[in-house]
Structure 1
Amino acid sequence: MFGLDALTPDDQEQVRADLRIALTGGLVAAVLMGTVLVLVGNVGDSEARSLLQAAIPTIRSFTSTVMVVSASTLALMLTILGLTSDTDRQIRGSHFERIRQIALADVVVFGAATLLLVSLVVPFGDASGIPHRWYDVVYYVATGLSALVGGAVIGVMLLIYAAVRDLTETFGPGDESPLLDEEEPEDG
């Protein structure tokens, strides 16, 4: 799935380590956000309906914001690719793999936020044909998916942080660079 085969073992490990950090951070954030569901406790059918009506505008706003941020992030990944491809230095493949991972994760987050937003367009509060016992299911699914999308956004931000960290170490002051190949191409 990930194009790690073309990378050196050290680069593969760095990419995997950054991915593990992002996945762990996103999962921890999603679990913490999901803990709110547990703290709320079991909600009855009538409580779920009123909680759902109160939560839907916030979830809609959240998901549309996530969509805007994801689209902007994807466009900024093109800027990073332009910066690194315009340099005369030999950039390691791990950098390009990380950018690819960020773009993939970002598209997944965008898709999940879009699906959640579209599913919340249904006017649950005004629908009379929905059995009351479904409101608690819809409430838990909507808030649970919001927690997952929130965790995924944090995971993407952690991946972006790793890319920016390495870029600043490479193009900033100092001799150490995690992105440059030690073997510079010969001028000739």
Structure 2
Amino acid sequence: MIRYIKYNGNAISGGFIVALFTALGVILLGNISDYEARGLLEVSLEGLIRLCNTIIFSSGTILTLLLTLLSVSFGTNKSLKERHYLQVLKIAKFDVILFVSALIFYQLFNFPILESDNVPIHWFSSIYWATLIVTSLLSGLMITVILMLYNAVKGLITIIGLNKDHHLLYSEKLEEEIEEEVEEQLKDKSKE
């Protein structure tokens, strides 16, 4: 897990920064009344729906790109480590979580809550803050997925296009060195 976070640190931190940036905007709004929240929801709801719609289409496109990435990975004459395929699998998992979340919130944002007379006015402030938090998390997750995809493509370009060594490239010599190092570490631990 630590290796995964270390390798995808820029993607995770990029998504975290976007979420924090959006949260900072929320904090700068300060405390708002329930009537103000209702008015702000009326103004922002269409944009929130568009954001979810865009994320749905983008994440579907990213899944398609992952299939292309896999076909390029498999079609190369170089042997890629299992870690590369696990990286693609993790990108796909994040992307599916993003897709499903955006679809659920798209449906929730389409409820005619503003036209309903049964919703107490004091709920609107909570609903408004919840929508801001949800959209900041969705935006952060979208940035994370895109940066993870960028890392995977960058690795393939380095291996296939630039014909350079990369940590995702399988090498028998390197594997033998790693196995010897692991065996030495096990022997040292058994002596203790």
Indicate the TM-score class for this superposition, using the shorter chain for normalisation: 0.7 to 0.9
Between stretches 23-32 and 161-170, larger displacement belongs to: 23-32
Tell me which of 90, 108, 117 is aligned to 1:101: 90
- The one-character-per-residue Cα deviations of 1:91-133 (angstroms, maximum 9, x if unpaired) are 1111101100100000011111111111111112211111000
Between stretches 172-181 and 81-90, larger displacement belongs to: 172-181
Residue in 2 that maps onto 1:76: 65
Gaps of 5+ in 2: 174-192
Residue in 2 that maps onto 1:29: 18
2:104 matched to 1:145?
A: no
Which runs of structure 1 show a deviation greater than 6 angstroms over 4 or more consecutive aligned residues? none
SS at match of 2:62: helix
Shift of 1:33: 0.7
2:58 matched to 1:49?
A: no
CA distance in 1, matches of 2:17, 2:40: 25
Aligned pairs, number: 173
Residue in 2 that maps onto 1:88: 77
Greater Rg, structure 1 or structure 2?
2
Residue in 2 that maps onto 1:126: 115
Shift of 1:43: 0.9
Report the residue type matching 2:84 in the other structure. Answer: H
The two structures have a TM-score, normalised by structure 2, of: 0.85
SS at match of 1:102: helix
Report the residue type matching 1:116 in the other structure. Answer: F
Indicate if the aligned counterparts of 2:69 and 2:153 stay in contact, CA closer than 8 A. Answer: no
For residues 164 and 89 of structure 1, do their structure 2 counterparts lie closer, same or farther at Cα, with a shift above 3 Å needed?
same
CA distance in 1, matches of 2:164, 2:113: 59
Residue in 1 that maps onto 2:190: none
Report the residue type matching 2:91 in the other structure. Answer: I
Report the residue type matching 1:156 in the other structure. Answer: V
- The one-character-per-residue Cα deviations of 1:119-172 (angstroms, maximum 9, x if unpaired) are 111112211111000001110001110000000001111111110110110112
Q: Return the structure number with greater helix share.
A: 2
Indicate if the aligned counterparts of 1:170 and 1:178 stay in contact, CA closer than 8 A. Answer: no
Shift of 1:174: 4.3
CA distance in 1, matches of 2:164, 2:143: 31
The two structures have a TM-score, normalised by structure 1, of: 0.87
CA distance in 2, matches of 1:80, 1:97: 13
CA distance in 1, matches of 2:35, 2:58: 35
CA distance in 2, matches of 1:141, 1:42: 14
SS at match of 1:169: helix
